[in-house]
A and B are shown apart, each in its own frame.
Chain A
Amino acid sequence: MHAVWKGDVSKLGVLFERHHRPLFDFLARMTGNAAAAEDLVQEVFVRVLKYRATWRDEGRFETWLFRIARNARADFFKNRGAEASIDEAAEYPSRAPLASETLARDREVARLQHALMLLREDKRELIVLARYREMKLEAIAELLGVEVGTVKVRMHRAVKELRDIFLRLNESPSWNTNNSVGSCPTA
């Protein structure tokens, strides 16, 4: 990043190779839409270029990068409408429906995935950062600009709410074998 900051724009490619996968994973899980995540990763690196003068070689680069990613995602949905991601997640499953009941476990995972997409964005973000990005609590706290204790409390609430939604979906007759399992929708 130091080279990019100094004006060597070509080094942005090196940063991309290092960081685009975790960024894509975060954005795909947050948006539920692979195509949107791809566009957003692109937008993140364009913003890195644009705002590189604001980078300070003090904090963690990853935190700065994810801060840009959060803003890019927020702007994306501000323009498109807040519910776009959830609608797409619900409407465009990535795999064919399962017929066999032997895959009950897979169906449960699909319910949980759906529950995750129904969770409020800020709560989903906490879970995605901690569970999938394996970001340390201190890094999450720095990213969100809160204390570590606050992150813990919010994490507790988020997982609890996720479980509640998941259980409600289990009881819901509308959730049936027509729903898919496994991965984030690819839109």
Chain B
Amino acid sequence: MEHEQLGRILPDGVDTSESDELDATWRMLGAIDSPAPNSERMRARLDAVIDAVEHTHTVPRPRLFDSYVLQGLAAAAMLVIGIGIGWFAGSDRLRALRDGESAAAVAEAERTRPAQTDASAQIAAMRSEMHDLREMVSLSLMQQQSASERLKGVTWTGQLDRPSGEVVSALLDALMHDPNVNVRLATIDALERFASREEVRRGTIQAVSQQPSPLVQIALIDFMVKTNERESMPALRRLAMDPQVNDAVRARAAWGLQQLG
């Protein structure tokens, strides 16, 4: 084997006696065994992970659907919708002008109404598509490796009028598991709109005691106060009384309890 003789991988100029000594050590290293892995157990653990990923996540496809492509698509869709809305708004204006002119013009306008109803349906469909696209962009960005991209994803959710449960779940997941503190802080702001949802209430109460970052804990306590979440009081009480908890967090929890009480 190539590396059984150390001399071959040492730099030039090492003197022979030293090289021989080191070579003896190198050869003796070959006598140190390593424990064998428990492959079966390790494979079972990995299979559990694979299973969980396959069943719980829609795996983001790399490259093809990266954020730049999605952002481009979103921009193109917005342009098309903008032109569409402009065109139909122009038609409405024309109809209003005609309303003031004559009965004949009104009758003419009424004749065109079915076409306008059809146009309204088209606008609604386009709005729905736009909404779906925004959701897709948000979810995709939230799964990127770069923290700033994930931050963008969280911010994008603010543009959604009625986000689906998937978006709210993604925000809660980011709050609990995102390694970046700034992303976790941003999710708290983003979740504020959905504070009345049961899963958000439960998720944020759970997060307040599990967060490793005092900054995020404090932001969550503020969130509880702002949303008047009285069910969080037991969790805040535990924080306020736990000597292991960061002093600032304890003080904030005590303040939160006063506000909610």
Contact = CB atoms under 8 A, between A and B. Distances in A.
A80 interface: no
A179 interface: no
A124 to B, nearest CB: 11
Interface string A98-122: 0000000000110011001000000
Contacts of B46: 12-13, 16, 42, 45
B9 interface: yes
Given A12-B50, A13-B47, A38-B42, A20 B37 contact: yes
A128 B1 CA distance: 15
B28 A49 contact: no
Contacts, number: 126
Contacts of B39: 20-21
A9 B49 CA distance: 10
A73 interface: no
A70 interface: no
A16 B43 contact: yes
B26 A183 contact: no
B11 A109 contact: no
Interface residues of A, number: 54
Contacts of A72: none
Most buried by A among B41, B46, B63: B46
Contacts of A49: 49-50, 53
Contacts of B34: 25, 28-29, 132, 183-184
Interface string B8-26: 0111001000100110011
Contact of B29 (A10, A21, A116, A155): A116
B32 A159 contact: no
Interface in A48-73: 49, 51-54
Closest 4 CB pairs of A and B: A53-B62, A183-B33, A24-B37, A152-B11
Given A9-B50, A131-B3, A134-B2, 5 more contacts: A7-B59, A12-B50, A28-B35, A53-B60, A134-B1
Interface of A: 5-7, 9-10, 12-13, 16-17, 20-21, 24-25, 28-29, 34, 37-38, 41-42, 45-46, 49, 51-54, 94, 108-109, 112-113, 116, 127, 130-132, 134, 136-137, 149, 152-153, 155-156, 159-160, 162-163, 166, 182-184, 186
5 contacts: A28-B34, A51-B145, A53-B60, A130-B9, A184-B35
